Amino acid sequence: MATATDSDLDRPAAEPSTRTISASRRFKDRASTVLVTLAFLIAVVPLIWVLVTVVARGAPAIVSATWWGNSLSGILPESFGGGVYHAIYGTLIQALIATLIAVPIGIGAAIYLVEYGRGPLARTTSFMVDILAGVPSIVAALFIFAAFISILGAPQSAFMVSLALVLLMLPVVIRNTEEMLRLVPDRLRESAYALGIPKWKTILRIVLPTAFSGTVTGVMLAIARIMGETAPVLVLVGYSRAINYDPFGGNMASLPLLMYSELANPEAAGSYRIWGAALTLIIIIMIFQVGASLLSRYSAIPK
């Protein structure tokens, strides 16, 4: 009787069919890999291109000694001196005022919609938020212009810009906060009620703290978004080459407005400042976005 050797036993009776891949399938596999990679490159190349260009052209400006601490007051168009701190201040103060107005209103509205809203009023509010979310920034700016400057006779100012930014920020804050509040499980609310804690206190002390970091993350992303808005600053406030600390009166620069006004400067210094301001704006926005994503890492709501 012939004894089978170990290697005989280990050898499969037939080559497993899973090991052979038909030529047509191999081709489709390759083709789709190539296509997806191509799509990825098409998406990423312009992005990297923009970034590299802005960094390369903006870097000389932002490393200059006066860039972060001086304004352009008294600097001639053809001169490479001066800085943009007046425009950085403008961008930040306009965003800050908009945030101070939009955040309480937005969070309040979201609390209403999630915790109290039932019936037609809630549905109407929700619908209005959707509409607001679709309003282009130029329309928001023109609305503020019409309502406050034309009709009420308010002067152009940074504050008017902030009001337009509020309109742009509100739907983002409301929708994000709503989402965060809905992530808070109902059983947390119920166990607070079961302790004899009234509803408003439950919202304030249990629900909101649980949704806190997610809400703040959303607010920071909203701030990052509005800081680059250009239409409101073009329509609602004049440009100034000098610092103006007063958001309620006078012209005030901001980074987008500075870039726009330097477009009219044919000198080499003009494009030097445009690229510098662009890079500065990107850096500021990135700080907010990175901050938001760091925060969201700690914002997990337990299921």
Partner 1 sequence: MAKRIDLKDVDIYYGAFHAVQNVNLTVTPRSVTAFIGPSGCGKSTVLRTLNRMHEEIAGARVDGEILLDGENIYDRNTDAVAVRRTIGMVFQMPNPFPTMSVRDNVVAGLKLQGVRDRKKLDEVCEASLRAANLWKEVKDRLDKPGGGLSGGQQQRLCIARAIAVEPDVLLMDEPCSALDPISTLAIEDLIADLKTEYTIVIVTHNMQQAARVSDQTGFFNLEATGKPGHLVEIDDTEKIFSNPTQQATEDYISGRFG
User: Could you tell me the smallest distance in angstroms from the CB atom of residue 120 to partner 1?
Assistant: 15
Which range, of 14-22, 86-94, 106-114, 182-190, touches partner 1 by CB under 8 A?
182-190
Instruction: Tell whether residue 302 is a contact of partner 1 (CB under 8 A).
Output: yes
CB 189 within 8 A of CB 202: yes
Which CB sits closer to partner 1, 124 or 191? 191
Distance from C-alpha of 53 to C-alpha of 36, rounded to nearest angstrom: 26
**Local structure of residue 2 (DSSP, 8 states):** P
Residues sharing a CB contact under 8 Å with residue 148, sequence separation 6 or more, in sequence order: 154, 160, 163
User: Could you tell me the smallest distance in angstroms from the CB atom of residue 55 to partner 1?
Assistant: 40
CB 178 within 8 A of CB 189: no
User: Could you tell me the smallest distance in angstroms from the CB atom of residue 113 to partner 1?
Assistant: 15
Amino acid at site 14: A
DSSP labels, 65-126: TTTTT---TT--TT------HHHHHHHHHHHHHHHHHHHHHHHHHHHIIIII--SHHHHHHH
Instruction: Tell whether residue 249 is a contact of partner 1 (CB under 8 A).
Output: no
User: Could you tell me the smallest distance in angstroms from the CB atom of residue 118 to partner 1?
Assistant: 7
Which CB sits closer to partner 1, 47 or 195? 195
Distance from C-alpha of 175 to C-alpha of 162, rounded to nearest angstrom: 20
Instruction: Tell whether residue 116 is a contact of partner 1 (CB under 8 A).
Output: no
User: Could you tell me the smallest distance in angstroms from the CB atom of residue 128 to partner 1?
Assistant: 23
Distance from C-alpha of 85 to C-alpha of 78, rounded to nearest angstrom: 19
Site for partner 1 in 5-64 (CB under 8 A): none
Distance from C-alpha of 96 to C-alpha of 216, rounded to nearest angstrom: 14
Which CB sits closer to partner 1, 207 or 257? 207
Instruction: Tell whether residue 118 is a contact of partner 1 (CB under 8 A).
Output: yes
User: Could you tell me the smallest distance in angstroms from the CB atom of residue 22 to partner 1?
Assistant: 50
Instruction: Tell whether residue 122 is a contact of partner 1 (CB under 8 A).
Output: no
Which CB sits closer to partner 1, 280 or 299? 299
Site for partner 1 in 184-223 (CB under 8 A): 185, 187-198, 201-202, 205-206, 209-210, 212
Which range, of 81-89, 98-106, 155-163, 181-189, touches partner 1 by CB under 8 A?
181-189
Instruction: Tell whether residue 120 is a contact of partner 1 (CB under 8 A).
Output: no
User: Could you tell me the smallest distance in angstroms from the CB atom of residue 123 to partner 1?
Assistant: 14
CB 204 within 8 A of CB 34: no
Neighbouring C-alpha atoms within 13 Å toward the C-beta of 186:
2
User: Could you tell me the smallest distance in angstroms from the CB atom of residue 185 to partner 1?
Assistant: 7
Which CB sits closer to partner 1, 9 or 195? 195
Q: How far apart, in Å, are the Cα atoms of 92 and each of 126, 169, 253, 274, 284?
A: 30, 15, 11, 18, 9
CB 94 within 8 A of CB 108: no
> Which among 176, 97, 168, 102 is positioned nearest to 132, based on CA atoms?
168
Kindly list the residues in this chain that would bind partner 1 in the complex (CB under 8 A): 118, 185, 187-198, 201-202, 205-206, 209-210, 212, 301-302
